[in-house]
Structure formats: structure tokens, C-alpha cells
Structure 1
Amino acid sequence: MSQTTRHFAAPKPGDIVWCRFPEEKTLHPAPKARPALVWRVGEIAGQTAVAIAYGTSQKMDRLFPGEFAIVPTDGAAYTVSGLSHPTKFNLARSVELPYNDCWFAVPPGAPFGQQPKLGVLHPSLMHRAQAAFKAINASLGDG
């Protein structure tokens, strides 16, 4: 008996989701899920696909070009993110993935029901994400 892939309702750009982000140099889901920031929603072969940025709570002492952080001192913006630890998102480390249960999982506590959504990027933090995108474009010669 084969397992059926479960597809989730489409997220929105700015959603923070629970993802089995592929480990470097592989195209396979990682065993451990982590936060990821949705920055584009589209389709692959008629199914919802998302462009997401890698999230980590490691090495928070320094931000590199293309990264921005969400931390508890951000107050309500941190609360609505759904994150349980200070987290930085690396927009330079982005991938496009099918939005299904091979790559995404319902987070602990299921704050949005049986969906991978943890929370959202608060509008007050949008300037950080925009600065990270600009830093990437500048490094590519586009900015």
C-alpha cells in the first residue's frame, strides 16, 4: 500500500511555517523540521509550491548579508511569529518546494490546526526582510 502525499492549503507570503528544509547539497527533506519564511507562493505541476527562506536559532550573535532576526524584544511582533526561540532567517538560503507533507509538518501545538503554519512576519518587521533582500541583490550586482 503506498502512502498518499498530503497537500496543505496555500500559505501567504510572510507566513512562518514548519519545514523539513533540505540539508545543504541534498534535495531530500531533512529529518528535523525548522521554521522557514514563505516569501513567494506559486505552482509546480498544478500543485502549490512555495519559495522559503531558511530559519535557525543557531549563531544568533551575528547577522550576515541576507539575514534578519526575530527576537523576544520585538514584543508583539515576536509573539505573532509563533517562534519559541530567537530566530534568524537567511534569505540567501532559499529554495522552492512543493507545499506538502513530504517537506512540511504540523508544528508542535498545532497553532493553526492541521497546517504547517507557526505564525506570521509582523508588518513592523518588514523593513528587516526588505533590507535582507536588498543585501542579496547588491551582492549579485542587481542593487
Structure 2
Amino acid sequence: MQYNSSHFLCETIVPKNEIIVSRTDLKGIITYVNDTFAQISGYEADELIGEHHNIVRHPDMPKTVFKELWESLQKNTKWSGYIKNLRKDQGFYWVYAEISGVHKENKLVEYKSLRTPITFEKKLEYQIKYDKLRLKTNDYVRKVIYEKIN
């Protein structure tokens, strides 16, 4: 996996008082997004609908975080945590996410996710934590290379 765009290093700040909302089916396919999600992610809403939610998964995110997320949801437990997402232009944005099941007539029918902005300190804390976790689990690790190309 290689990203050669300078945008990969550009952060989009989620505005204060904004909530990013999405819903997915039970397999993680997006069925609804609010305008804030589309705007922050750099996609049009119709580009997101029908795609798997991992369309915005940033490679800095350890696989174990999503394993834990899905295990929690399958146990009918709400999951919450800090996530770095990938924008369409290869930039990124950080959020605090709360994900839970939606039930109709006592049957789980979909998942909803509410995401809010986080502080710079939390972003730094979790970037360091996730970097260490990816090293520990032999996951992808970020490497920056400067080279002269003739």
C-alpha cells in the first residue's frame, strides 16, 4: 500500500458543534449519510451510499480496533472510540465515534454511527497509541521517504 499524494498529510478539521451521521446495513454497507459526513469526507452522498463503510478507513488505523468494534456490535453492545478516517482526496480527519445497533420490533436491522470532533491532544495521543499498536501486531506501518528523482 503506497500513497504518493501530498494530500495524504493534510488534515480536515471537523467543525465544533458538528455531528457526522451514517447508517449501515448489518454488513457495513452505507445506507444513509448526512451532509456533514459527505462534506468532511470529500465524497458526494451518492458516492457513499451502497459502499462499505471502510471506504473511509485510514491505513493508520490498526485492524484490531475494527475487530474489537465488530465484536462489540455482534454482542449487541455499543462501541465508542477514536478513529482516523481517510478522505476521498487522500487527506484525513479524526473523530470520536459512537456506534450502536438499531432495532425494530426487537430485531437488529442496522447500525448507526455518530461522530464528533476531538482535540489536538487526543489526536496526538491516539496517533501514537495506534502507531505502537500497529508495530506490536505486525500491521502496516507508516514510512516517510524523501528521495531525489532524476
TM-score norm. by structure 1 comes to 0.29
Structure with greater helix percent = 2
TM-score norm. by structure 2 comes to 0.28
Structure with greater strand percent = 1
Name the larger-Rg structure.
2
